[in-house]
Structures are given as C-alpha cells and as structure tokens.
Structure 1
Amino acid sequence: MIVCKFGGTSVADATAIRRVIEIVTSKQAQQPIVVVSALGGATNLLLDLAHKAAAGELLTALQIVEQLRDRHLTETAALLGDSPEAADLAVDIGAAFDELAHLAEAFRTLGYLTPRSLDTVAALGELLSSQIVAAAFRTAGYPGVYVDARDVMRTNDYFTRAEPDIDGIAAASQERLVPLLQQGKIPVMGGFVGAAPGRVTTTLGRGGSDFSASLVGAAVDATAIEIWTDVDGMLTADPRVIPSAQLIEHISFDEAAELAAFGAKVLHPSTIAPAVQRGIPVYVFNSRKPDGKGTMIAFDAPRLPVRAIAGKRNATLVKLRSSRMLLAPGFLRRVFEVFENHRTSVDVVTTSEVSVSVTLDDTKHLGAILQDLAAFGDVAVERRAGVVAIVGAGIADGSRAIADAIAALGPIPVHMASLSATGINVTLVIDDDQVVPAMQRLHATFFEDAS
C-alpha cells in the first residue's frame, strides 16, 4: 500500500486531474490511496468569503460563492462530460454551494465567525475536490471510490487546528480504506479535513493535507508516502529566492523536518512525524514531471555539512531578562508554561544565565503572553525579525560550516544564533529585510561557489 497526496496545483483543473489519474493508475499494483487538496486557491477563497460575509460584505461574499460554483461545475463537466454521473455530481455541487450561500447570509446577520464555522466552510474545498477526482477515475475506467475524510480522520474539537486521534484514525483506516484496497478499488479522500466526536467537521490547519496523507500512511503501514506538488522535489533553497537552487535527491527525516519547520514550503512541518514513527519513506515529486527523480526522505542519507538553506520572514522576537533566573530550578519551565497556556509554540530558543529569547510565528495571543511574562522580569519585543536556518547532518562534525556561515553573512547583523540539540541546524535570527540577501549569500557560499 502507498499513499499519494496531490496538492492544490496538482488538482487545479481538469487537465491537472487527468495527470493525477495517469500517475495513480500507473501504480495500481502498489494499492494506492489518493489524498487530494482543494482545487488550487479554493480554500483561500472560501475563507475570504466567510470573513467578508461576517464583515457585512454579503454581495462580495455571494459573488465568490458563484465564482467557486462555476469553477467546480466547469471542471466537473470537462472531466465527466454529459454522463449520468456528471449530472448527479453537478446536483450535489450545486446543493453544497446553495448551503454555503445560506451560511454567508448567516455570517452577515451574526457579524462574526466562530472557529467551528470557519472549519465548516474551509472543509468544503477538499470534500468537493475528492468527489470530483473519484468520479474522474471512474469516468476514465478505473475503480475510484470517494471516501469522506470525516469518516477516517478522527480529531479533537480544537477547531481550525485540530489534533489527530492516532488510534481512532488507525481503526477507521482499517475499517474504511483497507477493505477497498483488498477489493482492488482506489480510495480517494480529501486532506486537511477531519471530524471531532459527533462527526463535527474540523480541519488540521493550513497545509494539513500533507499531514493527513502521512497519518493515513502510518495508519495502514504504507510502504511509501508520495507528496505530489508543483516543484521537482526538495531543493537547496526556495527557488523563488534562489533561482539556482538545486534538487536534493536524498535527505534524512531530521533534515527534512528542520527545513519544513523553518520555511521550506514544499513540505508541511507535521508531515514527517507519523512517517518517522513507522519508518515509512516519504517522496516528493512534481506532478507536471512524473518521470523526474524527486526527493526521497528516509532515515539514512549521505551525511553532508550543509544540505540546504531555509528562511522565513515576519517572525517576532521576544526577550526576557531576569536576575531571578540565576541558579533558580524550574524557572524556565514556568516561563515556557506561559506559552503552553496560550497555545503558542516557540521556534528558536536561546538562553543565558539571566535571559531567554524566543521567536514566534503565531502572535495571536502575544499581548496576553507579554503580560504574563512581565511577572518574571523585563520583557522586550522585536516584531520584524527574520530567521535563516543552515541545515545539514554533518554541520557540527568538525567542519568549517558554522564559521563559513557566519563569515558569509558579512555585514548582516545577527541577533540570535542557535545550534539545535541534534546538531544538524544552525539558526540565525536577523532583521526581516535581510532574510533574502542572507539566503543568497549562504547559498552562494555552500552550493554555487563549491560547484
């Protein structure tokens, strides 16, 4: 069994979906489970219309509803033609968007959105795309079967960022997916979407389709998890920043997880964990170039000082200084409980005898966090910080990589520097507007000058 996940650009339209069918049916002997995102850009539009409706812009929201309705119906007609199934699916799609229009009117009346209502709206993209793709398989002569993701992806009720119920997903996968594979069927389900007890719709958060695929792969003990996207695989840097970025053919789980956490857009940070626990290799391929080498992510990979460079902007740096830290058992635990209490994760951490600094991506609860931290000492905030990560399993193996990285930055000031506990990632916190030039300098030093 394998899991093949296709992102939004890979199911953007009828042409892209036909490529999905070709890719998957070439792997039928491996018993593929297909996980799909919403049609490219659909989730952003769904969330946008919900917010506009709640803000009183009902006409604009309803125009987006009709735009999405027309797009889904157009792609369905292109894939299914005038078959009876096309007519039935068109009715279902129409009903879904009629309900969405009623929801928009309700949001306008209420004047606000709840996390639960946001999940109801956001889930629609994946629920519809998976039905369309499954029907397209059948029209092409293959045994595609639509599986409602809410019947498999069991979660808690933390809406907009639900946490998976691993045991529940395993049981549901064995009940819903494995029998279909044994019958020679091709299960097709949406990613990103789940259900809390009572079958209340939830989502795993943005980018959660990769996570869904990995969770399902672990649940059925798949031999591989394939992530199909619009790039050739994982690269030595973001190609939008570094056009000369090179393909990474083989990378370790730890390195890939670090890159994903620090801004590598090709892979969601949560994707790796379920695969690691089961030892399932993850492959990243380009759906537009299915014969490409792609990237293999596994436990073993050639050990290099630097595998890739990653960067992200718009980070927030929080600094706490307190003389009470000195020789105070449990002080750091109490500090980090503040972030836990406000459900906010920290990224980079550095400490000294009397200070601790962290970076945050999520600043939703920053005001409350700063208020609680003030009880420990003096707190300072820098809101426009950037983070650059130099990742390589051998970076701390006595090579000059760390020294070369610092030297490569030249005049760019570094506010924090941290070597990860695993010794495979050097993280540098710099000014937000210096992230791009820093990545360019580092990539030139480690990849272009060496080639």
Structure 2
Amino acid sequence: MSSASPSSQNDPDLPWVVQKYGGTSVGKFLEVIASTIVPSYMNSNRVVVVCSARSGESKDKGTTNRLLRAAEEALTEGSSKYLDIVREIEEDHLAAARAHVKNAEILQQLEAQLEKDCVKLRSFLQAAEIIDEISPRSLDIIVGIGERLSCTIVAAVLKDKGIDSELVVLNNIIDQEFAVLDQDFYSYLGARLSDIVRQCGNKVPVLTGFFGNVPGSLLATIGRGYTDLCAALVAVGLQAQELQIWKEVDGIFTADPRKVPGARLLPFITPEEAAELTYYGSEVIHPFTMEQVIRADIPIRIKNVENPAGSGTIIFPDAVMRSPNGHATPPPSRFELAQNGYHHDLSRKHPTAITIKDNICVLNVHSNRKNVSHGFLAKIFTALDEHGIVVDLISTSEVHVSMALGIDMVESSLEKARHELEKLGTVDVIHNMAILSLVGKQMKNMVGIAGKMFTCLAEANINIEIISQGASEINISCVVEESKALGAMKAIHERLLNLDPGVQITLPS
C-alpha cells in the first residue's frame, strides 16, 4: 500500500512524472508496478500512468495482435473464429483481474466492466461481419479496446493496493477538426491531455494509450507506437519532470546484452543517438515520439520493471544538458547534478553503441546506359515510392544503385517493383543480409574510426556489401551477411566500445 498522502497528487509544488508501461510489463509485472513502482514516486511526484494493451510471453499472443486477427476473421467468409478470439481475450483479462485484485467489491466491479467491454467488442465485430467491412477508423476502435481492458485492470489493482486511481478513457478527447497530423495537432493534443489529467485532482490517472479518432486513422498514421506518443504528449502538456518508459531491460546498452556478454549499460544517451539506434534495430523509443518530448526539454528515462531501483538510461535534451530545467525536483544524483549545468566533460572517447538490423535484402540496379544518370535515379525512386518501399541504406554512382531494404516490409511488393526496375537495367536481389550500425555523436571527432571499424571486419573475414555514412557522421553503417552479423558485432564491440568503463564527470566543489 502506498505511504503517500492522498493530497500528494494535488500538490502544485510537486513535479509530474509520466510513466508509460508496455504490454509485457502490464501482463507479467503488474504486481511490481502497483505495489512498488507507482507508490515509490508518490511522495515526491504527481504520477500519471499510461498503459499499452496486455501482452503474454510473446507479441504474437498479445492482445493487440489478437484483436487484429479477430478483425481479419470477421471479414473471412464462413469463419467464426473471431468469437473464439474474443472469448480468449475476455478469459485472459478476467483471470488477470482475479489474480491481482483481493477486494471483493473492487473485483466485482472490475469483472462487470471487463465483461461489458468484451460484449461491445463482440457486437462490433458481428456488425462488421454483416456489412463485410471494417474501415480504418473502425479498426482503430477495435484495437483501442485492448488499452481500455488493460487500463481498467491497472486502475483497479492500484485501488486494491490503497492508491486512489482513476481510469481515463481517451477515445473521444479530440473535439476539433484537423486535416493532417502536424505540430499544431500535437500541441493541441498535449494541452487537451494536460487538462484531462488535472481534472483527476488527487487521484492517479491511468490513461489508455489509445486517444481516439485522428485524421487518416491512428494505426495508419502513427502505427502501433501510438501509446508511446500518447505518454509523450501527456508529459509535454504537463511539462513533466521526466517521461519514464518502463521495459524489461535495464536501459540502453552498448550492444544487445543477450548477444554480447560484455555490453555495458549507458547511463545517458543523446536523442540523436537514440533515434539512430531505434531505426537500425534497437527497440528504444520511436524517433517521432521522442521528438515531441525532446523539443519541450523533457528528459526520457528508460527503466526496468524487474529492477525498479536501477537508474536506467536517460535520453537528455541538449537544453537540459546545458542548463537547469527549473523544476522543483528531489535532490539530484551526482550524475544528474553534472547533467544540469555544472562543469563536466561528457565526450566519449569511443563510439556509443552498435546494433544489428536483421532480415535485410540488398537490391542492386545497374543501368544499361551511361548517359542518363539523372533520369536513372529519378525513375528508381519513383518505382520504389509507387510500391511503398522504404530504403534503409543506399549507395549510388552514376549508373549503379545498391539499396538495403527491410524484407519484412517489402516482400509482397518487391517483385512488382523489380519488374519495373528491370526496364532501367540489370536487377538482382541478395537475401539474408543484415545492417550493422556503429552509432556515436562524437564519432565525427574520432579520426580514423571508420577505418578501425572496417579493419575489425576484415580481420574477422567478413565481407561488406554496402557502406554508408551520413554527413552528420553520427552513424557508420554497412551491410554484411546475416549469418556473420553477430560475429561482426562482437568483434567491433570488443575493439571499439569495450574500452572505457564509463564517463568520468568532475563535479563542482
């Protein structure tokens, strides 16, 4: 039970902390969240909780994936499997409710609400079966039920632990018309979310990550990371002390610790580095979601539900690194003190991290004519754009283009695009490749770092298919055979990242 006073949530002198919990955290570590994590912040912060839909041991068995499958089955002629899926979802959530809620009255109310929501879901899918159509907006509503079920349980469990909580369903909070999802929309949404949270008074708000109808549909425009975006916009609207993303890992490492035993936890990382690592294979936080928080000078802390006392990894906005943020915060740690405007040297003498993106194919296009380089490139990208193919890496000359593509994203459309590209010249596709990315904001100041990286690969007898380095020099990437990618990552990590146990920071006397 929380030792925080009931009025702590309504104390204007306390800073806000927004805590976002992923589906696996809610599914497997709800007891820790309700008994340990949320109460531990309530004496020094006003807490807001944002939750994803519950997940099981794998994403495939998660509620969101089940809901998507139910929608597909509702449109499959002669199939009634969606009814079985809804029943499984209902049984799983009722079982979780009974496992975590001890108070009979709270449990009775919780069970009734879960059953009511599943009846609505079943009716919605039956209607879709009859009209044989699910619009993008309807699919949003179906998927959004996952967050509603999850947050209903979380709010009830918090109450069962003695924490006064309030379920906040965000389905219909958008009360203005917007043609596109631009910064005006996100600024408006942040302000709306702030107003809704403040209306909860001294209760702990538990917000559904699903926030309703948006232009072009939430799934289509934002994707399945919309819960992170919701939490980010809540933090921006409240001008929170920090946004916490709770996962099942201690934070961001120099490499995947499951694959590289010597990987070290990074106490801090820049937004640019986090964005690069996310894009090239590490699940950190969606770059666009991060952008919304960083532009408001709010730090993001990645923490582990299995190790709540750990410091995690902090993604620091540049402005926060340069000067105090002005929030009324608890006494900062030595590390955080150094981050907030005191004299320190944060320049790493080596790259920050290395990551692998698997399931890559390389598409090579070689022109038959050497005098049409401008039209050659334009036609290639037009063909790719028409089929919705996104290029991860590219290497070009006047008559040859090599591109690395995520095969999971383009497999169905690659053959169609290939037929069009063959009109321009010779086309070949190399499968079973991986992108190896070395990331570090200070790498542009490290003379010869690219040479050292490729020397490591040569010594490990690893051939390179494509090499790419942007003008910002924050990322050096190459494409190698997938079967050799892990060995390449270990070799580079040992030589270039496993050099320094940490950053030495000089504090003021």
CA shift, 1:117, in A, is 5.0
Distance in 2 between residues matched to 1:105 and 1:63, nearest whole Å:
12
Q: What is the deviation of 1:330?
A: 7.5
State the Cα deviation string for residues 305-334 of structure 1 (Å, max 9, x = none).
Answer: 311110011123222333668685576456
Aligned to 1:315: 360
Point out where structure 2 has 5 or more consecutive residues left out of the alignment. 1-15, 56-61, 322-345, 502-509
1:236 Cα shift? 1.2
2:421 counterpart of 1:403: no
C-alpha deviations, 1:36-66, integer Å up to 9, x for none?
1111222233334444555568465443322
Counterpart-to-counterpart distance in 1, 2:144 and 2:22: 15
1:346-385 equivalences under 5 Å are 346-361=391-406, 362-363=409-410, 364-374=412-422, 376-385=424-433
Retained in 1: the 8 A contact 2:456–2:495?
A: yes
Where does residue 261 of structure 1 map in the other structure?
Answer: 279
1:441 equivalent in structure 2: 491
Matched residue type, 1:258: E
Partner of residue 478, structure 2: 428
Aligned partner of 2:223 in structure 1 is 205
Counterpart of 2:207 in structure 1 is 189
Give yes or no for the alignment of 1:167 onto 2:184: yes
Q: Which amino acid aligns with 1:87?
A: Q
Q: 2: CA distance between counterparts of 1:389 and 1:37?
A: 29
Q: How does 1:277-296 map to 2 (within 5 A)?
A: 277-296=295-314
Q: Which moved more, 1:374-383 or 1:350-359?
A: 374-383
Please state if 1:22 is matched with 2:36. yes
Contact 1:170 / 1:216 at 8 angstroms: preserved in 2?
no
Q: Distance in 1 between matches of 2:444 and 2:247?
A: 32
The superposition leaves residues 107-155 of structure 1 with CA deviations (integer Å, 9 ceiling, x where unpaired) of: 7778887655543433222121122222333333333222223345799
CA distance, structure 1, for counterparts of residue 176 and residue 19 of structure 2? 21
Is residue 368–residue 426 contact of structure 2 (8 Å, CA) maintained in 1?
Answer: no
Task: Report how many residues are paired.
Answer: 445
Distance 1:330 1:17, change over 3 A: farther
Q: Given that residues 6 and 37 in structure 1 are in contact (C-alpha distance below 8 angstroms), is that contact kept between their aligned partners in structure 2? A: yes
Aligned to 1:65: 86
| Structure-2-length-normalised TM-score | 0.76
Higher Cα Rg: structure 1 or 2?
A: 2
How far apart, in 2, do the equivalents of 1:229 and 1:257 lie?
A: 17
| Range that drifts further, 320-329 or 122-131 | 320-329
1:120-135, aligned counterparts within 5 Å? 120-135=141-156
Correspondence 1:270 to 2:320? no
CA offset digits 1:359-389 (Å, max 9, x no partner) = 2222043344334444544433223321110
Hey, what does 1:306 align to over in structure 2?
351
- 1:394 equivalent in alignment to 2:442: yes
- Return the letter of the residue paired with 2:494: A
1:239 maps to which residue?
Answer: 257
Cα deviation digits, residues 192-243 of structure 1 (max 9, x gap) = 5542259x77473234422332233334433321111110000111123223
Query: Which shifted more, 227-236 or 164-173?
Result: 164-173
The equivalences for 1:96-107 within 5 A come to: 96-102=117-123
CA contact (8 A) 2:68 2:143 kept: yes
> Deviations along 1:67-97, whole A, 9 cap, x unmatched?
2211211222334335444333322321332
Counterpart residue identity of residue 114, structure 2: I
For 1:319-338, list aligned pairs within 5 A.
319-322=364-367, 332=377, 335-338=380-383
| CA distance 1:272–1:373, shift in 2 (3 Å) | farther
Unaligned runs of 5+ in 1: none
Match of 1:415 in 2: 465
What secondary structure, in the 3-state scheme, does the structure 1 residue paired with 2:283 have? coil
**Pairwise CA distance, 1:292:** 0.3
CA drift of 1:402 comes to 1.7
Q: Aligned partners of 1:427 and 1:150: how far apart in 2?
A: 41
Secondary structure at the aligned position of 1:435 is classed as helix
Cα RMSD, aligned residues only: 3.4
Does structure 2 conserve the Cα–Cα contact (< 8 Å) formed by 1:414 and 1:430? yes
- Partners of 2:167 and 2:370 in 1: CA distance: 56
Code of the residue aligned with 1:210 in structure 2: it is D
Contact kept, 8 Å, 1:388 with 1:428, in 2: the verdict is: yes
1:325 to 1:393, Cα distance in 2 relative to 1, 3 A: farther
- Residue 425 (structure 1) shift: 0.8
Aligned-residue identity in percent: 30
- Find the aligned partners of 2:157 and 2:348 in 1 and give their Cα distance: 43
CA contact (8 A) 1:2 1:33 kept: yes
Q: How many angstroms apart in 2 are the aligned matches of 1:212 and 1:103?
A: 25
Q: Please state whether the residue corresponding to 2:391 is helix, strand or coil.
A: coil
Question: Mean Cα displacement is larger for which, 90-99 or 178-187?
Answer: 178-187
Matches of 2:112 and 2:437, distance apart in 1: 49
Q: Per-residue deviation at 1:431?
A: 1.8
Matched to 1:36, the amino acid is C
Q: What is the letter of the counterpart of residue 380 of structure 1?
A: D
TM-score (norm 1): 0.85
Report if the CA contact (8 A) 2:269-2:313 is conserved.
yes
